[in-house]
Structure formats: C-alpha cells, structure tokens
Copies of this chain bind each other. A is one copy, B any other.
C-alpha cells in the first residue's frame, strides 16, 4: 500500500494533490474526504481554529493506523494532509484520499482512518476570534 502523510502549516492545495493522483488500472474507487473549519464551535462563533500537533507522535500514530488499514483492506493508496496552525473558517484542515478496487472498501477504510485519527492522533484545536455567549457577556455589562 502506498502512503503519503503531510502535517503542514501551509494551506491544503487540492489541485496539486489531485494532479499527483496515481492509480493502477485495477482501481475502481477514489474517496476524498475534507474536513472544513466551521464558523460555530460549540456555542461560540469563531473566525479560525489554531491546530497544534505533537508532530513526531502524530506521524507515528498515523503510520500505525495506515498499517491497520493495509492489513484489513486491499487499499492501493492512502494520502493524508493535516494542516496545523491557524486555519480560517471555510478552509479545509484535513484532506484524506483512499484509492481501492471497490467502493465499499474505499468508504470503509476512509471512515476507519478518520475515526481512528480522532481517537489517537495527538492534534488539538484552539478556537480563534471566538465570541462565545459567555465571553460576550463579559463585555456587555
């Protein structure tokens, strides 16, 4: 299984990632998931999320997850980009691509990867520019 993992403060360049896609002639399914920063985080309106990663451990944990995927499914390729630092609302923080022979495998592996990431990969969020109902009360009195 081919893997490509990038943790970067740069914006995710979807066009470049798509241009670099390689798939052999036995592959029938490409699933791409993008996680995008939303303007609401809980009850707060935010302008961005500041992502912090423990890079070395995050890479290692992603690699462990990739190995589990390789053991469970006939996936040809996994590519993942996670942006760190300040990611503005409406911009993607996560881009994942799975290439597999069949649709069911591609969807299963992609969802497994994201679920496992959310449990194990040491990356954290801090809202930026938040005006939560609590903090705005501080200014209204």
Contact = CB atoms under 8 A, between A and B. Distances in A.
B35 A103 contact: yes
B25 A38 contact: yes
A114 to B, nearest CB: 6
A101 B106 CA distance: 21
B36 A27 contact: yes
A114 B104 CA distance: 11
A28 B18 contact: no
Interface in A16-59: 18, 23, 25-40
A14 interface: yes
Interface size for chain A: under 10, 10 to 19, 20 to 34, or 35 or more residues?
Answer: 20 to 34
| Chain A residues touching B, majority SS | mixed
Interface string A102-135: 0100110011001000000000000000000000
Given A15-B15, A114-B103, A29 B23 contact: no
A30 B18 CA distance: 15
A65 interface: no
A15 to B, nearest CB: 6
Contact of A90 (B23, B31, B39): B23
Interface string A75-119: 000000000000001101000000001010011001100100000
